[in-house]
Structure 1
Amino acid sequence: MERTLSSDLFYDNTATNAQASLPLRVLANLMLWQRRIASRHQLARLDSRLLADAGISEAQRYEELSKPFWR
């Protein structure tokens, strides 16, 4: 007797994995946005000497600070 697997088993497993990964992706995005906000706050606090040490111009800083947190 030959045993076969139903395609329904594969479909259900794939759907479950996709549903489980959605909260993880949302959490990952929230963490990324939080890191961007924090790093931009730090960038805003740097004085001109520290910017020069990091090799960042005032124009580059302004450009980075002008971006929304999701970009």
Structure 2
Amino acid sequence: MEFTQDIDDWLALIATGRSIGITPQSTVSQYRRHGIVFRPLRDAPPIVVRLIWPRHDPHPATDAAVTLLTELYQPPR
């Protein structure tokens, strides 16, 4: 097992065939890499997603981000 400092190092290890991994769906769209195949895991439980911000000095776009992410992550009906 090799230690990596960040997701880019980890994905480089995977691309060279020295590692495999499990990752959230967001990695598929945010970190596409040549030579890596992403496959969904059947029957895997969903992961919890959290949005965080500083309590006493929220960013001006915080309310819009909360609204958008609430819509995106609503459970299916």
TM-score by length of 2: 0.27
- Specify the structure having the higher radius of gyration (Cα): 1
* Bigger RCO of structures 1 and 2 (CA < 8 A, at least 6 apart): 1
